[in-house]
Every structure is written in C-alpha cells, then in structure tokens.
C-alpha cells in the first residue's frame, strides 16, 4: 500500500466503522465489485500510457480502461481525446506545426492537433504528458517517458499480465466520438469489433466491456460483436422507460457519480438509480472516483489545496455499500484496499 493510499484509508476508517455499526446506514452488499482503472493508474502516471496501465495492474485492478481514437491510417490508439495538445508534446514539435487546425467535434469547435491527421508512425514519435499537471505534479514527473499505445498493445499487456499474475485482467475500451470518426471515413465500431475478434474477445463472457456515450454507435456495435456493452451517461434524470430502452443494447450502465449518490446528504446515500438499472438487467459501473479535493464532494475534502487528497476512501465505501457492480477510479490501489476492507476479498 502506498503512502497516499495509507493516509486516505486510515483517515476515513472511523467513518466506515461507524457506518457499518449503525443499522440506519446501508450495509455491505454481497457482490464483489470490479475495480476499473480509469485510463490506468492515471492519478500517478500520465493517462493512457502502458506505464499507467501496468501500475494499475500491479495495484490489483480488474480492468484497465483505454479511451480509443483513430489515426489517419485507421489504427485504434489510446488517448483521452483526439485533440492531443494537452496529453503529448506535439505543440513543441516544429515539424508538426502545420498540422494545427480546427475541427467541429460533436457540435463543438476545437482547435489543436488531432490524431486523425497523423499516421501511427508519426504519433509514435510523440511523448505523453500529464493532462492535469497542477493537480498531479507527481504524475507530471513522468512526462516525456512514454509513447502513445495502440489498442492492440493494451490488449497484449492485459493478456501477458493475466498469464503472469494468474488472474484475469480485462480491457474496458471506450469509443470516443465514433460518429465523428465515421464521417471522416474511419469506422471505429467496425475496427474495434474486428480487433476483438482477432484477439478472441468477441464473445459474451470475454473479459471486456465496450463503452460509449453515443447510443446509436453502441447499438450498431452490438450488432457486430458479442462483446458486452456499457452505455455511458452524464448527470441527469433517467426514466424507467429510458433505462428499459438502454437495456435493449447495453449490458451495463456507466453513470456519473452524482447520479448514483446524494453528495449533499450525510453518509452519501444511494439515489435509487443503481437498483433500477440492475432491475432492468444491467450492471452499474459509475465514474469516476478521484482523490484530489477538487473532484470530491465538499464534505469529503481535506484542507484548502485543490490538489490535496481528501477522503476518497469514504466515497468508495459509499459506492460499495450502495451495491455497484464496479467503479471507475484514477487510484485503483485505494479502491482495491477499501474493497478488501468491505468484502474481505
């Protein structure tokens, strides 16, 4: 257990014990939830690098999550967005200065450098950077050390690490802006389905979840592949009818944290969405637990520094007690530690 994990775990242990001791608060559930490493151990290493995924695996994560975008020559690569000035050194490369442009992505004008304007060989000459250096200076210390990985490299890593560790390590790819890429002649859904088939992951029981914020591309993907699918949703109301519709093409729901927990009420009680989604036949994997104060509910912040770590362990406890099937986190070591405390496994 790292020093940061130890501090977060120890500081919040009395709260957990109090919650479990009082019958008015939710009790632990029986199902052991998955720990999904959001972009790898992205609180400690630049996101979407093999180093971040490796660290997450070493910390006990069940799944690693690559966001997928595409290159000009049709290769799936792991980046948070297709605009890469914030996550690579591309802006420092005079040989690529003429690639700076503006694109309309999902109705929003974005200026910068875009993966679809580079071949894979060109992207491989770039180096990854921490996207949030002010909040994560420790991670930023690793800037310039890692290249952009392909999706195939991520899958190869999970397979190799599954053999090495003796435990199944899954892959949880997100299709980013698939409609946009389709319009550019880059069929993301078809490419991902083919990649899963080539890697023996095109089956219902494969250690993979394919996620997306766009329902139409996710529904189309479901027609191409047997791999489990997850519909991502941001904060907002989801009616029972909408949940039933999503359940027609998604095996899981990936809601924003504020949709599943009431952050303004002591004890962070569940909102009811988890139970409704599970009743509709879907797994529930909320996103994203981060330890920095700037990402935490006010009651869980510790100190005034936005980059300081607050009581994210208690947030994890609330999610586990609420009955989630898995949780996305930038700090998988802490999520694994708290899960061990709650579930003794």
| Selection from 293, 291, 295 nearest residue 313 by Cα | 291
| Selection from 290, 273, 282 nearest residue 335 by Cα | 290
- Helix orientation angle between 188-198 and 215-224, rounded to the nearest 10 degrees: 40
Q: Of 22, 48, 80, 177, which is the active-site residue? A: 80
Q: Which two tokens stand for residue 115?
A: 């993966």
Q: 103: alpha, beta or left, given left = phi > 0 and alpha = psi -120 to 50?
A: beta
Backbone angles phi, psi at 132, to 5 degrees: -125, 65
| Selection from 43, 64, 63 nearest residue 53 by Cα | 64
Per-residue three-class SS string for 100-168: CEEEEECCEEEEECEHHHCCHHHHCCCCECCCCCCCCHHHHCCCCCCCCCEHHHHHHHHHHHHHHHCCC
The three-state secondary structure class of 31 is: coil
How far apart CA 240 and CA 28 sit, in angstroms, is 26
- Whether residue 285 lies in the annotated active site: no
322, containing H or E segment? helix 312-322
Beta strands 76-78; 67-70: pairing state: antiparallel
How far apart CA 157 and CA 204 sit, in angstroms, is 21
- Whether residue 309 lies in the annotated active site: no
User: Where in the sequence numbering do the catalytic residues fall?
Assistant: 38, 80
């Amino acid at each position: 257990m790292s020093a940061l994990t130890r501090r977060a775990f120890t500081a919040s242990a009395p709260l957990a014990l109090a919650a479990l001791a009082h019958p008015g608060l939710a009790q632990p559930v029986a199902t052991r939830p998955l720990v999904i490493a959001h972009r790898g151990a992205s609180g400690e290493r630049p996101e979407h690098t093999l180093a971040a995924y490796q660290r997450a695996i070493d910390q006990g994560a069940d799944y690693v999550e690559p966001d997928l975008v595409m290159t000009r020559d049709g290769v799936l690569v792991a980046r948070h967005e297709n605009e890469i000035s914030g996550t690579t050194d591309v802006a420092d490369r005079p040989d690529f200065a003429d690639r700076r442009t503006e694109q309309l992505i999902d109705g929003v004008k974005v200026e910068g450098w875009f993966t679809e304007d580079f071949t894979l060989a060109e992207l491989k000459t770039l180096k990854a950077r921490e996207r949030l250096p002010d909040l994560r200076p420790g991670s930023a210390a690793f800037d310039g050390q890692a290249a952009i990985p392909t999706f195939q490299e991520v899958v190869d890593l999970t397979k190799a690490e599954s053999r090495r560790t003796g435990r199944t390590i899954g892959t949880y790819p997100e299709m980013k802006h698939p409609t946009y890429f389709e319009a550019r002649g880059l069929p993301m859904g078809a490419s991902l389905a083919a990649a899963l088939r080539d890697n023996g992951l095109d089956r219902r029981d494969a250690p993979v979840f394919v996620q997306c914020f766009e329902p139409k591309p996710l529904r189309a993907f479901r027609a191409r592949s047997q791999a489990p699918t997850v519909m991502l949703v941001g904060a907002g109301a989801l009616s029972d009818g909408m949940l039933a519709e999503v359940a027609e093409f998604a095996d899981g729901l990936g809601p924003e944290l504020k949709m599943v927990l009431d952050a303004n009420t002591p004890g962070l009680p569940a909102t009811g969405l988890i139970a409704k989604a599970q009743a509709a036949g879907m797994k529930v994997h909320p996103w994203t637990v981060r330890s920095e104060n700037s990402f935490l509910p006010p009651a869980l912040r510790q100190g005034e520094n936005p980059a300081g770590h607050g009581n994210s362990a208690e947030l994890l406890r609330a999610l586990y007690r609420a009955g989630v099937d898995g949780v996305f986190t930038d700090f998988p070591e802490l999520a694994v530690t708290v899960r061990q405390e709650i579930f003794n496994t």
